[in-house]
Amino acid sequence: MGVGHTFAEAFVKSQLAAGVRLPKSGKAFLSVRDEDKPKLVDVARTLSGLGFTLVHQGHRPGARGRGPRGPARQQGDGRPPNVVDMVRNKEISLIINTVEEDRRSVRDSWSIRNSALQAE
Q: What CATH number should be reported for the domain holding residue 67?
A: 3.40.50.1380
Within-domain flag for 15: no
14-29: pLDDT as tens digits: 888 998 888 899 999 9
Distance CA(88)–CA(74), nearest Å, equals 14
34-91: pLDDT as tens digits: 898 898 898 899 999 999 999 987 544 443 444 444 545 455 555 567 888 888 999 9
Domain that holds residue 28: 24-119
Within-domain flag for 41: yes
Q: Looking at the 3D structure of the chain, how many domains does it have?
A: 1
b/e for 84-98, b at 16 or more Cβ within 10 A?
bbbbeeebbbbbbbb
Within-domain flag for 77: yes
| Distance, C-alpha 51 to centroid of its chain | 15
Tell me the residue type at 73: R
Within-domain flag for 66: yes
Within-domain flag for 78: yes
Within-domain flag for 59: yes
